[in-house]
Structure 1
């Protein structure tokens, strides 16, 4: 059986607050283990890795032109 991680430890590992972790849990972004209804909530390492993968986005390439104007050409 995998080691269970408490809410406080999971928030520290992810670098987020406990409130943010609870919001992610309530919205279904992160899976969790809860043995008894209204009981303690635990996370596994696989759950945390899955959450990191969901929240990681590819960087978008920087746009070359930020305006609609065309760059000036060299004088000929």
Structure 2
């Protein structure tokens, strides 16, 4: 399970066992994530899925600014 899914499930008690794309949508709706964070996370999820299915071999250049975005997220100490 991706770390972001763990964090989102921790911050949204009613998250249950939803897949990552639904967690991202719910996080944006519940204002756990900003709209910008939700867009970047969903794009990263799509890249991860393409890599898992052999459609992409690297993420270099795929998501400009993603590292900066992830630095702005307040990660719990156990996850970071």
Q: TM-score surpassing 0.5?
A: no
Higher strand share: 1
TM-score by length of 1: 0.27
Q: Which has the higher contact order (CA 8 A, sep 6+)?
A: 1
Structure number with greater Rg is: 1
TM-score by length of 2: 0.26
Higher helix share: 2
